[in-house]
Chains A and B, each alone.
Chain A
Amino acid sequence: MAVAVGRPSNEELRNLSLSGHVGFDSLPDQLVNKSTSQGFCFNILCVGETGIGKSTLMDTLFNTKFESDPATHNEPGVRLKARSYELQESNVRLKLTIVDTVGFGDQINKDDSYKPIVEYIDAQFEAYLQEELKIKRSLFNYHDTRIHACLYFIAPTGHSLKSLDLVTMKKLDSKVNIIPIIAKADTIAKNELHKFKSKIMSELVSNGVQIYQFPTDEETVAEINATMSVHLPFAVVGSTEEVKIGNKMAKARQYPWGVVQVENENHCDFVKLREMLIRVNMEDLREQTHTRHYELYRRCKLEEMGFKDTDPDSKPFSLQETYEAKRNEFLGELQKKEEEMRQMFVMRVKEKEAELKEAEKELHEKFDLLKRTHQEEKKKVEDKKKELEEEVSNFQKKKAAAQLLQSQAQQSGAQQTKKDKDKKNASFT
């Protein structure tokens, strides 16, 4: 008989001091080594109009030419295109997936533009949930496709957010970490940029859009995150072409009036974006996705399916039992439906049978009728035939008689003529 004795709660845990080096300070290294050997996943979703510079920015961020053909403006609807890449830096392997919204903002009617995006995000959560719920699951080497960061590209109008932007961001803010950025920032002058940024931020706040908050709870990153947050949304310029500046080659865009350097913090906020997105908060983005957005999705999904947490002191596996109950209910319904269908089927069969019998009867009757008619006709024909034969025989008789008469008549005529002749002759003599 086991007696669990003295399991103190958290507050009662004694803090012990160590009298020597134990060695578990290598624990984070052990953990990190394991993760390094498995590789990391990071998935970015880029939402923005066609031609706003999404692909170029991705190329610039990751120092690579991801192959993609620019999309046309003729897409009938919004669709998402996902591409995966494996990047390696020193001993870190990153499985990067970039999801693009093709055709966003091109339609005349943009009511449903946000729907494919929301569906895609939900589908990734769903896939993870399904894996979690399996009996035999392997979560530790599951390829995580959930979106960790959503870069929302705002068009550099200089005025304010478009209503499409507000609507889309509102729909996405509870599902994904949104980082708004101003694209093609080299079209805005510096003074306008400041006004534009504050206008955007106030609009987001007044519409209750929850964008991603850079974490400020840990001392090492709190400071840098706080200073960077002030510059949201980051005004970025992307370029993969290099221009000679001074004696170095740098990524830049060359204009007749000057050169916009991508990595110059006076020119644009690209460096800030790269810092925040990759070098400081990548892990936090992943964690937020898992602990906040995914849990919310999971909770909603389970509640939707009718499961609830029961009181803590109720029977264990409330979920399992609810499931059982539901399953039995479902099976019962299934059986009922089966019965109904079977009965209906039987009824129909009977009907059809009756119909067919009717038809058969009719057919028989018709057949009889025909037969009778046929027989009658036959009889009539026979009768007529007999009549005909009679007539024919009569005719033959008559003919024969007539012939006889004729021949008699001829004979008598001949005799008569002879007689006459003789008489005549006699008279002469």
Chain B
Amino acid sequence: MSKGLPEARTDTAMSELVPEPRPKPAVPMKPVSINSNLLGYIGIDTIIEQMRKKTMKTGFDFNIMVVGQSGLGKSTLVNTLFKSQVSRKASSWNREEKIPKTVEIKAIGHVIEEGGVKMKLTVIDTPGFGDQINNENCWEPIEKYINEQYEKFLKEEVNIARKKRIPDTRVHCCLYFISPTGHSLRPLDLEFMKHLSKVVNIIPVIAKADTMTLEEKSEFKQRVRKELEVNGIEFYPQKEFDEDLEDKTENDKIRQESMPFAVVGSDKEYQVNGKRVLGRKTPWGIIEVENLHHCEFALLRDFVIRTHLQDLKEVTHNIHYETYRAKRLNDNGGLPPGEGLLGTVLPPVPATPCPTAE
């Protein structure tokens, strides 16, 4: 008897919530492929130049986090990467400053420019990580910080009148410094990476690689890779986000051969063979930072900055941030996962869609 009712109910309900459904627009036919090269130049390829000009005008944001025990050379490495004093080294701090009792998060921003490209670089330091006697849960403040940045971004997104460019403070890349023991990863390393590889792009690096010989280095790297794999830790570039075969082969090579990069950092220059190079001077020789025979710093630099910087940002935005957003919406509103209710408003998307970028 009451079978007829429910339909009538939802219809009235839906029409109250949603304004009159607009008529379905004319659906475009399946795209017809036309190779216009044969018919004369149109000028579509100028869009690349147009885009490039626009992005150069708006500039880029990049936020990099360094995590590792104190004394592993984090600040030096960041300074070497960006060829400027972006981090104040711990050794230059006032001697009386003690090691912090808890993990602190220090974010310092700089603006650097090169070739007309302006970049707002933020280095996020984590002094105090792994330095206590009891290091339980010392990754929690870091995870909290990362999630806070996602939250900040989401809140901006949700606004009705939103800014043209939402300031991006999300961590795009996290360099995790592994101590060059030569044996294997420490439990703290594994725990940290296990927890954080799900929320941020982690790039493990072996610090102070000048303490290992070539054979020790390659053995250590193999062991580390194996351990990471056994523990199911997906570091950047993650296998599941490879877009096409080209990406996959390229990234496979990096994943299986080069990573984790064994690096040496330095901001001092020395004269070697008539050239001024960055290096470390020791009684037995000068270790050239940018020499591929000596260490893999150049590989790391090229990987992070020259080829994958945009990709790091995109993975953070399209995957980590979206995961956070989806989880947050699910938890907060108890809304069903998947499609939002038609016509009801859920917090909308960032103001930076696919083609234009920050």
Q: Which residues of B contact A305 (CB under 8 A)?
A: 345
User: Complex: how many Å from CA A27 to CA B62?
Assistant: 11
B226 at the interface (CB under 8 A from A): no
B98 CB to closest chain A CB, in angstroms? 15
| In the complex, chain B residues whose CB is within 8 Å of the CB of A81 | 26
Q: Which residues of B contact A280 (CB under 8 A)?
A: 46, 50
B69-77, B176-184, B280-288, B300-308: which one contacts chain A? B300-308
A135 near B105 (CB under 8 angstroms)?
A: no
Chain A residues lying within 8 Å of B333, measured Cβ to Cβ, are 320, 323-324
Give the chain B neighbours of A320 by CB distance below 8 A.
158, 329, 332-333, 346-347
A370 to chain B, nearest CB (A): 34
Given the known interface contacts A8-B109, A320-B347, the answer about A2 and B144 at a Cβ–Cβ threshold of 8 Å is yes
Partner pick for B81 among A22, A36, A122, A140, CB 8 A cutoff:
A22
Do A139 and B353 form a contact, CB below 8 Å, given A25-B115, A279-B43? yes
**Interface-lining segment among B116-124, B193-201, B214-222, B249-257:** B116-124
> Would you call A203 an interface residue if the criterion is a C-beta within 8 Å of the partner chain's C-beta atoms?
no
Among B5, B42, B120, the residue within 8 A (CB) of A278 is B42
- Provide the residues of chain A in CB contact with B110, threshold 8 Å: 13-16
Bound form: Cα–Cα A290–B349 in Å: 12
Q: Determine whether A38 belongs to the interface, using a CB cutoff of 8 Å to chain B.
A: yes
Bound-state CA distance A286–B355 (Å) is: 9
Task: Please report the C-alpha to C-alpha distance between residue A342 and residue B9 in the assembled complex, in whole angstroms.
Answer: 11
If the complex has contacts A27-B309, A35-B51, A283-B50, are A86 and B32 also in contact, measured as CB distance less than 8 A? yes
Q: Is there a chain B Cβ closer than 8 Å to A30's Cβ?
A: yes
CB neighbours of A284 from chain B (8 A): 50, 54
Tell whether A7 pairs with B112 under 8 Å between CB atoms, given A129-B348, A220-B53, A323-B346: no
Given contacts A14-B111, A133-B345, contact A83 B106 (CB under 8 A): no
Q: Does A256 contact B (CB under 8 A)?
A: no
Q: Is the CB of A123 within 8 A of B339?
A: no
* A18, B34: Cα distance in complex, Å: 47
B residues in contact with A160, CB < 8 Å? none
**Interface segment out of the listed A294-302, A361-369, A410-418:** A294-302
Once the chains bind, are B55 and A28 in contact (CB under 8 Å)? yes
Interface size class of A (residues with CB under 8 A): 35 or more
Please tell me if B40 contacts chain A, counting CB pairs below 8 Å: yes
A303: contacting residue among B53, B115, B160, CB under 8 A: B160
Residues of chain A contacted by B28 (CB below 8 angstroms): 82-84, 97, 145
B51, A283: Cβ atoms closer than 8 Å:
yes
1/0 contact string of A129-148 vs chain B (CB within 8 Å): 11111111101111011000
- Interface-located stretch among B205-213, B230-238, B310-318: B310-318
Q: A70 in the interface, Cβ–Cβ < 8 Å?
A: no
A274 at the interface (CB under 8 A from B): yes
Q: Which residues on the A side are within 8 Å of B25 (C-beta)? A: 80, 82, 119-120, 123-124
Q: Which residue of B lies closest to A93 (CB)?
A: B44
List of B residues within 8 angstroms of A309 by Cβ: 159-161
B42 x A63 contact (CB < 8 A): yes
Residues from chain B with a CB closer than 8 A to the CB of A323 are 333, 344-346
Known A18-B114, A334-B9; contact A27-B60, beta-carbon cutoff 8 A: yes
A141 with B351: CB separation less than 8 A: no
Which residues of A have CB within 8 Å of B93? none
In the complex, A145→B16 CA distance in Å? 27
Residues of B within 8 A of A139 (CB): 318, 349, 353-354
**A19 CA / B276 CA spacing, docked (Å):** 12
Q: Are A13 and B111 in contact (CB under 8 A)?
A: yes
Cβ < 8 Å to A, chain B residues 126-183: 141-142, 144-145, 148, 151, 155, 158-162, 164
Contact B141–A82 (Cβ < 8 Å): no
Most buried by A among B83, B112, B164, B353: B353
Is there contact, CB below 8 Å, between A64 and B34? yes
The distance from the CB of A16 to the nearest CB of chain B, in whole angstroms, is 4
A63 and B309 in contact, given A4-B107, A281-B50 (Cβ under 8 angstroms): no
A1 touches B141 (CB 8 A): yes
Query: What does the 1/0 interface line of A169-188 toward B look like (CB < 8 Å)?
Result: 00000000000000000000
On whether the beta carbons of B144 and A36 are closer than 8 Å, the reply is: no
Q: Is B35 an interface residue (CB 8 A)?
A: yes
Q: Of residues 50 to 90 in B, which have CB atoms within 8 Å of A's CB atoms?
A: 50-57, 60, 62, 81-86
Instruction: Name the residue of chain B whose CB is nearest to the CB of A119.
Output: B22
Contacts of B119 in A (CB 8 A): 24, 27
Which one of B22, B309, B346 contacts A133 once the chains associate, using CB atoms below 8 Å?
B346
Are A123 and B302 within 8 A (Cβ)? no
Cβ of A212 under 8 Å from chain B = no
B residues within 8 A CB of A90? 45
Q: Is B185 interfacial (CB 8 A cutoff)? A: no
Q: Mark A20-36, 1 if CB is under 8 A from B, else 0.
A: 11111111111110111
List 7 other contacts, CB 8 Å, given A19-B84, A87-B36, A280-B46. Answer: A21-B114, A25-B114, A26-B306, A31-B55, A132-B348, A135-B330, A320-B347
The 5 closest A-B CB pairs, nearest first, are A25-B115, A2-B141, A283-B50, A30-B310, A132-B349
21 A-B residue pairings within 8 Å (CB atoms)? A13-B109, A13-B110, A16-B86, A16-B111, A23-B114, A28-B55, A31-B357, A32-B52, A35-B355, A61-B42, A67-B32, A85-B31, A87-B36, A120-B25, A129-B348, A135-B340, A139-B353, A290-B356, A302-B345, A308-B160, A323-B333
